[in-house]
Amino acid sequence: MSYKEEFVKFMVRSGVLLFGDFTTKSGRKTPYFVNTGNYKTGAQAAKLGEYYARNIQEHIEGKIDALFGPAYKGIPLAVAAGISMYNLFDRDINYCFNRKEAKDHGEGGSMVGYKLQDGDRVLIVEDVITAGTAIRETLPVLKAAADIEIAGMVISVDRMEKGKGEKTAIQEVYEEFGIVTYPIVTVREIIDILHNNPVDGKVYIDDEMKARMEAYMEQYCVR
């Protein structure tokens, strides 16, 4: 079983990949939802970090000076990924994250953890990208910290949804900022992995759910 298949089943078992009737932040009615806020145990965090680390090891070449986790969901992801990069691949990588509001006492500033230096190569670690809003908020924070190079961005799931126009948010982020995004899995891979394939005896994507997901993708996604 590939780490992608393992990851999809891990999300289902963790109550993170959900199927039913949901409304996204943008108001779209969707039959599936990815809620990374449902990860809540040390075991889940450890396993999640391994999937991110395998994705990073597979796609990101060259030295990475720091993993950056955008507040708030990106913070534990960057830490977990950093731990797993060391445990699995003997790569000790700095990590840092931002505060939502800059601190005006103590050491001050909006960044926590590793202090970014000019010339650093930084990898952004995020959960899910839908409209690309988070990355547009994140880049000014990073650029204000130091003159860095963005090595790319890793996320858990690419919903393959249109951003502001007719392209996916990932495509728009690349065209606008030159940042390549590497998802652990896409929604298309989720369908392929789970369609009529039970997890612990339960089928989550049967023919009916697959048809609903395909209809949603036809309306909102880029194939």
> Topology of domain 3-220, per CATH?
Rossmann fold (3.40.50)
Options 29, 63, 103, 164, the catalytic residue: 103
* Cα end-to-end distance, the chain, whole Å: 25
Q: Please indicate whether residue 167 is annotated as part of the active site.
A: no
Give me the average pLDDT of each 10-residue run along the chain (223 residues): 94 97 85 93 97 97 95 93 98 91 55 95 90 79 92 94 82 91 96 98 98 94 80
Break the chain into its structural domains and give their ranges. 3-220
Q: For residue 140, what pLDDT is reported?
A: 87
Q: 111-150, pLDDT tens digit by residue?
A: 899 999 999 999 999 998 766 777 888 888 898 899 999 9
Q: Please indicate whether residue 105 is annotated as part of the active site.
A: yes
Options 25, 100, 105, 202, the catalytic residue: 105
